[in-house]
């Protein structure tokens, strides 16, 4: 049974999952990951979710405040052995619900051009592609997306 744990970015499971995410991103984007790595640091983030399947960490995601209305979805990841089971959909839905509870009405995110499954998921969940925002302007492997939450 899938369970979601609301926690912070210092949780050992989040650290473990994002290390796997960073390894995957480095294999997809070996030439540019050094530019992205500093943008993915989330110290002290308190809006972090971990997906647990039979008490084992299988996915994660978080968001951070950008302005009074907008959050940015960050560090979305599902272990490859557990993809295709709706886990990312569940994580993203819960992050959006959490943002709504905190009175945010807009969400944005950045993903990579080679992450076709992620792009498909975000489009299916109502996100649309926008011009790249800072700090992703002129980063050719970035795709930025946006959604009105309510």
pLDDT at 15 over 90: yes
For residue 102, how far is the Cα from the chain centroid? Answer: 18
Question: Whole-prediction pTM value?
Answer: 0.95
d(CA 83, CA 63) in angstroms, rounded, equals 21
Q: Domain residues of the chain, as ranges?
A: 2-148
Domain covering 2-148 in this structure, CATH number: 3.40.630.30
The pLDDT score that the predictor gives to residue 135 is: 94
* Beta bridge mates, 51: 4, 59
Token pair of 21 as six digits: 């995410």
Q: What is the widest separation between alpha-carbon atoms in the chain?
A: 42
The pLDDT score that the predictor gives to residue 39 is: 77
Sign of CA dihedral 61, 16, 40, 37: negative
pLDDT digits (tens, 9 = 90+) for 18-76: 999 999 999 999 888 777 778 788 889 999 999 999 999 999 999 999 999 999 999 99
The pLDDT score that the predictor gives to residue 9 is: 96
The pLDDT score that the predictor gives to residue 41 is: 83
pLDDT digits (tens, 9 = 90+) for 86-127: 999 999 999 999 999 999 999 999 999 999 999 999 999 999
d(CA 95, CA 5) in angstroms, rounded, equals 11
């Amino acid at each position: 049974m899938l369970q979601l744990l609301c926690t912070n970015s210092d949780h050992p499971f989040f650290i473990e999952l994002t290390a796997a995410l960073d390894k995957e991103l480095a294999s997809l984007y070996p030439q540019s990951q050094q530019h992205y790595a500093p943008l993915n640091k989330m110290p002290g983030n308190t809006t972090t979710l971990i997906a647990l399947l039979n008490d084992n960490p299988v996915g994660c995601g978080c968001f951070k405040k950008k302005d009074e209305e907008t959050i940015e979805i960050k560090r979305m990841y599902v272990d490859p052995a557990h993809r295709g089971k709706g886990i990312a959909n569940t994580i993203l839905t819960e992050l959006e619900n959490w943002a709504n509870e905190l009175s945010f009405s807009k969400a944005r995110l950045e993903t990579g051009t080679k992450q076709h499954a992620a792009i498909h998921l975000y489009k299916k969940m109502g996100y649309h592609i926008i011009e790249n925002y800072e700090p992703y302007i002129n980063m050719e492997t970035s795709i930025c997306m946006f959604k009105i939450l309510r």
